[in-house]
Amino acid sequence: MDQRADLRRAIVEWLDDNYLFGDAAGMLTSDDLSFLESGVLDSLGFVRLVLWLEERHAIKIDRKHLTRANFDSMNKIVGYVAQRAGWAP
């Protein structure tokens, strides 16, 4: 399976399991939806998501990359991880 699609599915499952109580399909209306502004994630969730991504993909997310620009939506997260993990474009 395409790595990006796989990661996207895994993030939806993680959000569903940890924050959205099975409502992910209804809440994640767009891959550009801001997780923080829409209330999908809070600051704690942000930290937990980063820890989970680091573990799942064996990458180290540098502190300077912990910004909204990299983690505030599905597209941003998938794009960032793809770049860090060196996936083919």
Q: Which residues contribute to the site for other proteins (CB under 8 A)?
A: 17-18, 21-23, 42-44, 46-48, 50-51, 54, 61, 63-64, 66-67
Output 9 or 21, the one with its CB closest to other proteins: 21
d(CA 14, CA 78): 14
* Contact between residue 51 and residue 13 where contact means Cβ atoms under 8 Å apart: no
The pair of three-digit structure tokens given for residue 67, joined into one six-digit string: 């910004």
Output 2 or 55, the one with its CB closest to other proteins: 55
d(CA 60, CA 54): 6
Minimum distance, C-beta of residue 5 to other proteins, in the bound complex (Å)? 24
Minimum distance, C-beta of residue 84 to other proteins, in the bound complex (Å)? 11
| Residues contacting 21, CB < 8 A, separation 6+ | none
Question: Which DSSP letter does residue 19 get?
Answer: I
Output 21 or 56, the one with its CB closest to other proteins: 21
Minimum distance, C-beta of residue 48 to other proteins, in the bound complex (Å)? 7
